[in-house]
Chain A
Amino acid sequence: MDKMLNIALPKGRLGEKVYAMFAEAGFPCPQILENSRKLIFENPEAGVRYFWVKPSDVAIYVERGAADVGVAGKDILLEYRPEVYELLDMKCGACRMAVAAPKGYQDDRIRTLRVATKFTEIAKDYYASLGRDIELIHLNGSIELAPILGLSDVIVDIVETGTTLKENNLEVISTIVPITARLIANRASYKFRKREIMKLQEGLSALVSAE
């Protein structure tokens, strides 16, 4: 029986930072730091197996049990609503989900608002809570382009520093929700690998509160 703890990490800067925290919490796997094209890294002594996946896919790997635990942004959890345990706010990778529009934009409540976004569920929930009728335009990237070309009135997107918005003459008009990375776990794995997952959770929690 495979008894290693499978951990899905988001590819990229956030994933590297998160790995360092996992290693410090007692789940090291040094070969992950070697620059290679490998996708899976194992450390049998520590009983862990890491793999890098696209950040938006982490929740799917965890929900379907291919990974026991993983780290995903709150944006992904709100958008896909996976049935997983959200065990810890890792307080890193901070940004916010926001509505942005061209500078000087005035909302006209008489017309249906056209909203371009990658996060259709979040946008839908947000405008439903305001009782606002919208037309959703789902885009996969370069969302900032939409209002400039008149494809949409506003966009709903992740804002980190706001530089991209500024350079394209856009500004945040309201913040929907602050976003950070979260430790998530598969519900069945949590039952069968409880000891390891609790150890990880407690280790990470100590690191997060020490910061």
Chain B
Amino acid sequence: MTFDYSILDDTERITFALRELYLSRGYSRYKMSKFEEYDLYARHKDFLVSDAVITFTDTNGKLLALKPDVTLSIIKNNQDEPEGVRKLCYNENVYRVSKGTNSFKELMQMGLECMGAVDGACISEVLQLAAETLKVLSTSFVLEVSDLDILSAFTEDLTEDSAEMSGILRCIQEKNFHGLTELLEKNGTSREKTDALIAVLRTAGSPEEVLPKLETLCAGVPRAAEAVERLEEALGVFWGTPFLPSVEIDLSSAADMNYYNGVVFRGYIDGVPESVLSGGQYDVLMRKMGRKSGAIGFAVYLDLLERITLPEE
């Protein structure tokens, strides 16, 4: 069967281009059912982008849900990989509440997951694939990389109170350093500790610039220093490649530490006001779901690409 490629619309072109990219790197396609038992989402509610889920009762009386998320299903349906890494890619519709309209929407999501003995090389590979994915979408993109192990080394003993901690994380994500200073002053954190945290958060920029600075700033904090070393190793894959100018370290780009750990990242393309790609290591979620191995993955939100013009090819 042959046909004229020009009949493909943008979403189809992206889907095919990305699928080809992932398959060529040894990822196998993973297709899943549209429904999942509601219980799965009730147990891991905070992992979901929005906690509203479309539910219905199956013929046997079981409460089912239309998938609001793909990662949870993949973990649930795959046992631990004792050796090596299981590499999967998917292309699925998910059902979520969109912020603007406050009603349910069907969104197309593409992504990949690695589960098993995730090592430095595997993290590098996923980061590189994230950058290559962004390049398919736009000639002008930024891959923003952060490391939660560095961040948590500076934030873990700030407070015991979870509401206060989420306030602190919110300030960090908003780059709201005046608000952060105020919060920490109120809870009695020492000035030196606050300054050390803010200094680390402020060192955003290109890896060549930021990594040496982070090494100096984290020298006295062994856990953070180790994490910086690992991050440096993971980003090594970009050295001497045309991707390097598009990669940025920004530790204020935090994710929920109840699920994620280590390297996390977001992708932005010029012309779309929010991140179109997000991912990271989620060993913590794996533990919560009774898995021993590590995991890393990312997702691309294809619905956000509706209004941009794609690069030729």
B-contacting residues of A (Cβ < 8 Å)?
63-65, 83-89, 186-192
1/0 contact trace for B249-284 toward A, CB 8 Å?
000000000000000000011101111000000000
Q: Looking at the complex, which of B18-26, B79-87, B175-183, B188-196 is the stretch in contact with chain A? A: B175-183
Beta-carbon nearest neighbor of B252 in chain A: A85
CB A197 to nearest CB in B, in angstroms, measures 11
CB B188 to nearest CB in A, in angstroms, measures 19
Contact assessment for B274 and A188 in the assembled complex, using a CB-CB cutoff below 8 Å: yes
Contact assessment for A192 and B178 in the assembled complex, using a CB-CB cutoff below 8 Å: no
Cβ-defined partner of A191 (8 Å) among B174, B176, B248: B248
- Is B224 an interface residue, CB under 8 A from the partner? no
Q: Which residues of chain B are within 8 angstroms of A186 by Cβ–Cβ distance?
A: 273
Q: Which one of A64, A65, A188 has the greatest number of beta carbons of chain B within 10 Å?
A: A188
Contact assessment for B174 and A84 in the assembled complex, using a CB-CB cutoff below 8 Å: yes
Beta-carbon nearest neighbor of A81 in chain B: B170
Beta-carbon nearest neighbor of A189 in chain B: B273
A-contacting residues of B (Cβ < 8 Å)?
140, 142, 144, 174-176, 178-179, 248, 268-270, 272-275
Q: Which residues of chain A are within 8 angstroms of B176 by Cβ–Cβ distance?
A: 85-87
CA distance A24 to B169 in the complex (A): 33
Beta-carbon nearest neighbor of A74 in chain B: B179
CA distance A88 to B269 in the complex (A): 25
Q: Which one of B144, B175, B268 has the greatest number of beta carbons of chain A within 10 Å?
A: B175
Beta-carbon nearest neighbor of A87 in chain B: B175
Q: Which residues of chain B are within 8 angstroms of A87 by Cβ–Cβ distance?
A: 175-176
CB A123 to nearest CB in B, in angstroms, measures 18
CB B19 to nearest CB in A, in angstroms, measures 26
CA distance A187 to B174 in the complex (A): 9
Beta-carbon nearest neighbor of B266 in chain A: A187
Q: Which residues of chain B are within 8 angstroms of A191 by Cβ–Cβ distance?
A: 142, 144, 248, 268
Beta-carbon nearest neighbor of B163 in chain A: A129
Beta-carbon nearest neighbor of B205 in chain A: A194
Contact assessment for B178 and A187 in the assembled complex, using a CB-CB cutoff below 8 Å: no
Q: Which residues of chain A are within 8 angstroms of B140 by Cβ–Cβ distance?
A: 192
11 contacting pairs across A/B (C-beta < 8 A): A64-B273, A65-B272, A83-B274, A86-B174, A87-B175, A87-B176, A187-B275, A188-B270, A191-B268, A192-B140, A192-B270
Beta-carbon nearest neighbor of B171 in chain A: A86
CA distance A64 to B274 in the complex (A): 8
CB A144 to nearest CB in B, in angstroms, measures 30
Chain A to chain B: the 9 pairs with minimum beta-carbon distance, closest first:
A65-B273, A86-B176, A191-B142, A85-B175, A89-B178, A86-B174, A188-B268, A191-B268, A192-B270
Beta-carbon nearest neighbor of A88 in chain B: B178
CA distance A192 to B273 in the complex (A): 11
CB B274 to nearest CB in A, in angstroms, measures 6
CA distance A149 to B74 in the complex (A): 58
Q: Which residues of chain B are within 8 angstroms of A63 by Cβ–Cβ distance?
A: 273
Contact assessment for B174 and A188 in the assembled complex, using a CB-CB cutoff below 8 Å: no
CB A68 to nearest CB in B, in angstroms, measures 10
CB B101 to nearest CB in A, in angstroms, measures 13
Beta-carbon nearest neighbor of B170 in chain A: A81
